[in-house]
Amino acid sequence: MTDYTYEAVMSRKNDIMRTSLALDFSQYEKSGVAFDYDAMMADVGLSIEEVVSIQRDLGVGDTPLLELRNITALARKLAKPGFGARILIKDEACNPSGSFKARRAALSCYDAKRKGYKGVIAATSGNYGAAVASMAARLGLKCIVIQECYDSRFVGQPEILEKQRKCEAFGAEVIQLTVGPELFYYTLRLLEETGFYNASLYTPSAITGIETLGYELVLQCKERYERAPDWVLATHAGGGNLTGTARGIIKAGCPDVKIAAVSVDLSGLSMASDGDFNRKSFTTGHTGFGIPFATLPDRSDVPRNAARSLRYMDRYLLVKQGEVFYTTEMLASLEGLERGPAGNTSLAGAFAMARELPEDAMIVVQETEYTGAGKHPMPQLTFAKRNGIDVIVGDPDDEVPGESIVIPAHPSMFRVRDVDLTRLRRSALRNIAGDRRMFSDNEIAYMAAEVNLSVKETEALLETLQ
Angle of helix 377-386 relative to helix 321-335, nearest 10 degrees, comes to 150
Contact 151, 177 (CB under 8 A): no
Average pLDDT value for residue range 367-389:
91
Q: Is residue 195 part of a domain?
A: yes
**DSSP H or E stretch at residue 250:** helix 240-251
Please write the tens of the pLDDT for every residue from 76-106. 999 999 999 999 999 999 999 999 999 999 9
Q: Is residue 236 part of a domain?
A: yes
My answer on whether 411 and 340 are in the same domain is yes
My answer on whether 68 and 183 are in the same domain is no
Collapsing DSSP states into helix, strand and coil, what is residue 315? strand
- Does residue 151 surpass a pLDDT of 90? no
- In the DSSP assignment, the letter for residue 299 is G
Pairing of strands 231-235, 197-198: unpaired
My answer on whether 317 and 402 are in the same domain is yes
Residues in the chain: 466
Average pLDDT value for residue range 317-328:
97
End-to-end CA distance of the chain: 50
Taking the C-alpha atoms of residue 405 and residue 399, their distance in angstroms, rounded to an integer, is 6
What's the structural domain count of the chain?
Answer: 3
Query: Any idea what the CATH number is for the domain that residue 196 is in?
Result: 3.40.50.1100
Q: Which of 187, 204, 221 is the last residue of a domain?
A: 204
Please write the tens of the pLDDT for every residue from 286-301. 999 999 999 999 988 8
- Does residue 466 surpass a pLDDT of 80? no
**Among 374, 319, 363, 310, which residue's Cα sits nearest to residue 345?**
319
Q: Is residue 31 part of a domain?
A: no
Report the pLDDT value the prediction gives residue 155, as an integer from 0 to 100. 87
Report the pLDDT value the prediction gives residue 241, as an integer from 0 to 100. 97
Q: Is residue 47 part of a domain?
A: no
My answer on whether 405 and 292 are in the same domain is yes
Average pLDDT value for residue range 358-370:
97
Please write the tens of the pLDDT for every residue from 172-217. 999 999 887 788 899 999 999 999 999 999 999 999 999 999 999 9
Taking the C-alpha atoms of residue 178 and residue 199, their distance in angstroms, rounded to an integer, is 21
Report the pLDDT value the prediction gives residue 280, as an integer from 0 to 100. 86
Taking the C-alpha atoms of residue 215 and residue 238, their distance in angstroms, rounded to an integer, is 21
My answer on whether 215 and 261 are in the same domain is yes
Q: Is residue 267 part of a domain?
A: yes
- In DSSP notation, 135-159 reads HHHHHT-EEEEEEEEE-TT--B-HH
Report the pLDDT value the prediction gives residue 181, as an integer from 0 to 100. 74
My answer on whether 76 and 116 are in the same domain is no
Average pLDDT value for residue range 365-370:
96
Report the pLDDT value the prediction gives residue 221, as an integer from 0 to 100. 98
- Does residue 157 surpass a pLDDT of 90? no
Tell me what percent of the residues of the chain surpass a pLDDT of 70: 100
Task: Assign 277 a pLDDT band (cuts: 50, 70, 90).
Answer: confident
Task: Assign 158 a pLDDT band (cuts: 50, 70, 90).
Answer: confident
Q: Which residues contact 149 (CB under 8 A, 6 or more apart)?
A: 125, 156, 160, 161, 164, 176, 177, 178
Report the pLDDT value the prediction gives residue 125, as an integer from 0 to 100. 73
Q: Is residue 48 part of a domain?
A: no
Average pLDDT value for residue range 11-35:
94
Q: Which of 204, 228, 261 is the last residue of a domain?
A: 204
- Kindly list the strands in the beta sheet with 142-150, ordered across the sheet, starting from the edge strand earlier in the chain: 173-178, 142-150, 119-123, 197-198
My answer on whether 242 and 366 are in the same domain is yes
My answer on whether 322 and 212 are in the same domain is yes
Q: Is residue 53 part of a domain?
A: no
Q: Is residue 46 part of a domain?
A: no
CB-based burial, 322-340: b 16+ in 10 Å, e otherwise: bbbbbbbebbbeebebbbb
My answer on whether 195 and 271 are in the same domain is no
Taking the C-alpha atoms of residue 39 and residue 56, their distance in angstroms, rounded to an integer, is 26
Task: Assign 272 a pLDDT band (cuts: 50, 70, 90).
Answer: confident
Report the pLDDT value the prediction gives residue 359, as an integer from 0 to 100. 98
My answer on whether 238 and 361 are in the same domain is yes
Which residue range(s) make up the domain with 306? 60-97+207-418
- In the DSSP assignment, the letter for residue 80 is P
- Does residue 336 surpass a pLDDT of 90? yes
Q: Which of 181, 204, 227 is the last residue of a domain?
A: 204
Task: Assign 367 a pLDDT band (cuts: 50, 70, 90).
Answer: very high
Report the pLDDT value the prediction gives residue 152, as an integer from 0 to 100. 87
Please write the tens of the pLDDT for every residue from 402-416. 999 999 999 999 999
My answer on whether 455 and 334 are in the same domain is no
My answer on whether 246 and 130 are in the same domain is no
Contact 317, 350 (CB under 8 A): no
Report the pLDDT value the prediction gives residue 126, as an integer from 0 to 100. 78
Mean pLDDT of the chain: 95
**Among 159, 156, 206, which residue's Cα sits nearest to residue 179?**
156
